[in-house]
Amino acid sequence: MERLDYRKLGREGYELLGQLSRIGKSTLGVVLIELVKLRASQINHCAYCVNMHSNLLRKEGQSEERIQSVVVWEEATAFTQRERAAFAWTEAVTLVAESAVPDDVYELARAHFSEQELVELTFAIVTINAHNRLAVAFRRVPGS
């Protein structure tokens, strides 16, 4: 059961977060951004966002194999090297207190993304982490 509707009570902040969420989609593509958002949401145990980003990936024509394999991306064969670098970067940034975002993960990301793309990818990761924290804290119901 949802604790409160932070989208209404914090409308201005929620709308600004939504604007920030759009950074990077044009250069990185919707599918890559949605894959990253799904992975961060899995790490953060955000059921609402896992559901939403899985459904958005389906609408983008992504296979069930790819969607279901995001959680085990390191073992899966369904992803490109660029997507794998994005997942590694997503995990390091999402788990920043544990990882301190190691140099080897940065170098891997830089091998696949320009400086501009890496900044945009990081903004996407930062914003999904903020959305996850709001949805988990206030118990947003999946599918609502």
pLDDT at 24: 60
Quick one: average pLDDT of 42-64?
98
pLDDT at 116: 93
Could you give the 3-state DSSP secondary structure of residue 140? coil
Buried b (16+ CB within 10 A) or exposed e, 42-56: bbbebbbbbbbbbeb
Q: What is the rounded distance in angstroms from the CA atom of residue 110 to the CA atom of residue 139?
A: 36
Q: What is the rounded distance in angstroms from the CA atom of residue 104 to the CA atom of residue 29?
A: 24
Q: What percent of the chain has pLDDT over 70?
A: 99
Domain residue limits, the chain = 6-137
Cα pseudo-dihedral 27, 30, 34, 36, rounded to 10? -20
Architecture of domain 6-137: Up-down Bundle (1.20)
Quick one: average pLDDT of 27-44?
96
pLDDT at 121: 95
pLDDT at 30: 94
pLDDT of 120 > 70? The answer is yes
